[in-house]
Amino acid sequence: MKHWKILVATLGLAAMTPMPLIADEKSVVVGQAGVPRHFNGAIQSGVYTFMPSSSIFASPVRYSKSWEPEPYVAESWKVSDDGLTVTLNLRKDVKFHDGTPLTSEDVKFSIETIKANHPFKGMLAPVVSVDTPDPYTAVINLEHPHPALLLAMSPTLMPILPKHIYGEGNIQENPANLKPIGAGPFKLVEYKQGEYYKLEKNEDFFIEGRPYMDEIFVQIFPDSNALVLAAERGDVDVVNFVSSPRDLKRLSEDEDLIVNGDLAQALGALNWLAFNTGKAPLDKVQVRKAIAYSIDRNFIVDVLLQGQVTPDYGPIVPTSPFATDDVEKYELDLDKANALLDEAGYPVGADGLRFKLTADSENVDEEMGRNLLEYMKTQLRKVGIDLELRVSPDFPTWSQRVGNHDFDVTIDHVYNWGDPVIGVNRTYLSSNIRKGVIWSNTQQYSNPRVDELLALAGQEMDLEKRKALYAEFQKIVVDEVPIYYMNVIPYKTVYKKGLAGVPDGIWGAVAPMDEMKWE
C-alpha cells in the first residue's frame, strides 16, 4: 500500500507552508538549515554544496568505511613505481544525464577545472597535466608524489563535469551551476532558491539497480529550531550535519529517530575564530594573542556547549595521525592579554576602550556561532576591546563578506577533509590568498616557513616524516594565531527508524545517496 504525506515546513513558530506531495516508499525527505550557493562542487566547497553535488555528479573512485578506494567511474587504476603518474581506466558505460557518454576528456577537463577554481588549492597542486591516450584512459602526471590524490578523487571532491556543458565561458557564471548535468545517481529537477530542491532517480545510472530511491526532496529551513521541530513531527526523514548540543540531546530522546555519530570521519570539522591578519589592528600578532588569552576555551566547551564537544588547540583535528598536542593552549589570562595590547601600542582610552572590532557569524548555528560571539563580546570588553556582532541572514551573505576579506573576526566551521593536503593547507598557504573565494586563505596569513613545510609534507610518502613536518607547522601557526581554535564539531546524522543505507562511510552525508532505501 502506498502511503503519502504532505511535507510541512515550519516557518517561525506559527506560519506553516505546505510543500509538494512526497511518496513514502521510494522517496525520502531531507531537512537542512543551510542554503547551497550552487550545485557545482568542482568550484565551490561547503557541505551544503557537496551534499547534492556528490549525488548529481560521479567521480573516479569512492571510499570504503576502512578508508580504502573503491572503483566508481574508474573501474581500475595504477600508480607508477615513482609515484609520478596515476592511470585511470574508465568504465565504458557511463553517460551524463543528457545522454552524452563520459570520456577521459571530461575527466581531464574536470581535474583542470578543479585545480584552477577550487578553494582547496593544495588538493591538486602537484598535477602537471592529464593525458587522454584514448576515450577511456586518463593519465594524471604529477610534479611529485601526492599522498592524498586518490582521496581527492572521491565524489565529495572530484565531480566529473561534462566538458560540453561547462567548457564554454567563465565557469563561475555558468548557468549549469544552478541547473547541473552530471553522471551521478540523481538528477536535479527543481530548485527554489532558499526553500527546497528535488533530485530524481537517474534511470541510466551505471550501477545496476541503483539508486534505490526514486526521489530525494531537500527542504531548507530558516533555522535549526524549525528543523528540529520538523524532525520530531516526522515531516522530514533525515537531518544531516546536526551539531548543536541542545538539538542532539533533544532528538536523542525521540524513540522514532536514530542519532548516528559514527559517520563522516573524513570531515574533521573544527569550530574556530578567524582573524583578518591583513587589517589593523589584527595585523599584529600581539593583538591576536591577546584576544586568545582573553577567551576561556574551557568555559566554551564545558558550559556553553554543555560538555558535548571536544576542545581543539590546533589546525589538525585531534583524531588525525598528524595532530600534535605540543602547542600553546592559550589558557585564560587577562593580565597577559592586557600586557600584550599595551605592547602592541593600543592603550586604554578615556572610555575604557582600546579599539573596536566587528565579529561575523552565520545565523544557521546559534550555539557555535552567535552565542559564542556574545560571550566573547563580554570577555573582550574586560581588556578594552569593543566587539560588535554582525550576523548574516544566510550563507551567501556571510561567504561574500569573508571571501572578500570584508571582516575583522569571524566564527567559522572548517574541515580537514581527510588529509591535511586537502583541507588544511588551503587555510594557511600564502599562494591561496584569493579574494572572493570562501574557505581559501581568507585570513590573508603568510609565513614562508609554513609554505615550505606544507609543500614538503604534501609530497612526503613516509608517515613518520609527514608527522614531523606537520608538527612543526602546527606549532608555528598556533604561535602566530591567524586563528583561535575552539572545538571539534560533533556532526551527526539523524534519521527515522526503518531508513537504511544512509551514507555512513568516511564522507558521511556528503557521499552519494544511492543506497538509501526503506526497509
Residue 417 C-alpha cell reads as 577533509
User: What CATH number labels 61-166?
Assistant: 3.90.76.10
Task: Write out pLDDT tens, residues 44-60.
Answer: 988 899 999 999 999 99
Residues in a beta bridge with 134: 137
The chain-wide mean pLDDT, for the chain, equals: 92
19 versus 374: the higher-pLDDT residue is 374
CB-based contact 286:344 (threshold 8 Å): yes
In sequence order, what are the residues at sequence separation of 6 or more whose Cβ sits closer than 8 angstroms to the Cβ of residue 8? 16, 17, 18, 19, 230, 233, 235
* pLDDT confidence tier of residue 226, bands split at 50, 70 and 90: very high
User: What CATH number labels 4-57+168-265+491-518?
Assistant: 3.40.190.10
* pLDDT confidence tier of residue 5, bands split at 50, 70 and 90: very low
3: pLDDT strictly greater than 70: no
CA–CA–CA angle 150, 483, 325 (5° rounding): 70
Rounded CA-CA distance 100/15 in Å is 45
435: pLDDT strictly greater than 70: yes
| Domains of the chain by residue range | 4-57+168-265+491-518, 61-166, 269-488
pLDDT of residue 262: 66
Task: Write out pLDDT tens, residues 390-423.
Answer: 999 888 899 999 999 999 999 999 999 999 999 9
C-beta atoms surrounding 352 within 10 Å:
9
pLDDT of residue 182: 98
The CATH fold of domain 269-488: Dipeptide-binding Protein; domain 3 (3.10.105)
